[in-house]
Amino acid sequence: MKTDALVEQLKWRYAVKKFDPSRKIPAEQWQALESALVLSPSSFGLQPWRFIVVSDSAVRKQLRAVSWNQAQVVEASHLVVFAIKKDLNAADVERFVRRIAQVRGVSAESLSSYEQMMLDFVAQAGKGLDINAWSAQQLYIAMGVFMTAAAVLGIDTCPMEGIEPDSYDKILGLGSQGFHTLAAAAAGYRAADDKSARLAKVRYETSEVITHVGRS
């Protein structure tokens, strides 16, 4: 991708309020966006999350009612719900270590010092560490990766925190599986008459946001 094209796409994207309900993201591109979610980085690599892609229109209607009535929930081509794994603990670390061993073809024993580091970390939960807040930080990275990847492909998104997380958990049966909703993202294509598309992007001056120490 050309450098200019990247910035162009980042300027092109905005939080879409009105999607064109008749346009669907082609399957191949959607698969790429699912890959972007799966490939998102997380601290230690622990991936304390679940991404729920809601295609069922009746369920999406239910979700809209607990999303400040935001139309994006039902009108966008796709809807992803971002949930953390609640109370990440030693069992999650052990599962992840088994996965590394499997993928990289190494013994679990060879990973013991890394495992111990992660176990020590999760053991801090409740003792100065809010493990769910930590997982939330990881989840938002995935949301950023998802939106950026979509923009690069010319696919619109709208991130949404204007939702009732507990109601989402109930509707999607997440609470009983140990997950908790934090946000959602609609993805698809902007409607031609979405007024938000015409609004200028409001960002602070680069010089206020980015400072440099030394010369690169």
Ligand X SMILES: Cc1cc2nc3c(=O)[nH]c(=O)nc-3n(C[C@H](O)[C@H](O)[C@H](O)COP(=O)(O)O)c2cc1C
Interacting residue ranges for ligand X, rule: CB under 6 A: 14-15, 17, 70, 158-162, 183, 201
Instruction: For residues 64 and 191, give the distance between their C-alpha atoms in angstroms, rounded to a whole number.
Output: 18
Q: How far is the CB of 40 from ligand X (least distance, A)?
A: 15
Q: Which long-range contacts (CB under 8 A, 24 or more apart) does 22-25 make?
A: 23/77, 23/188, 23/189, 24/77, 24/188, 25/77, 25/78, 25/155, 25/187, 25/188, 25/189
Q: How far is the CB of 158 from ligand X (least distance, A)?
A: 5
Q: Residue 69 or residue 124: which is nearer to ligand X going by CB?
A: 69
Work out the burial of residue 1: count CB atoms within 10 Å of its CB; fewer than 13 is exposed, 13-18 middle, 19 or more buried.
Answer: exposed
Instruction: For residues 136 and 143, give the distance between their C-alpha atoms in angstroms, rounded to a whole number.
Output: 10
Closest residue to ligand X, judged by C-beta, is 162
- Contact predicate 160/67, CB 8 Å: yes
Q: Characterise 173 by phi-psi region: left (phi > 0), alpha (psi -120 to 50), beta (else).
A: left
Q: Residue 18 or residue 96: which is nearer to ligand X going by CB?
A: 18
Q: Residue 48 or residue 159: which is nearer to ligand X going by CB?
A: 159
Q: Residue 36 or residue 158: which is nearer to ligand X going by CB?
A: 158
Q: Residue 104 or residue 198: which is nearer to ligand X going by CB?
A: 198
Q: How far is the CB of 174 from ligand X (least distance, A)?
A: 19
Q: How far is the CB of 160 from ligand X (least distance, A)?
A: 4
Q: How far is the CB of 183 from ligand X (least distance, A)?
A: 6
- Contact predicate 37/184, CB 8 Å: no
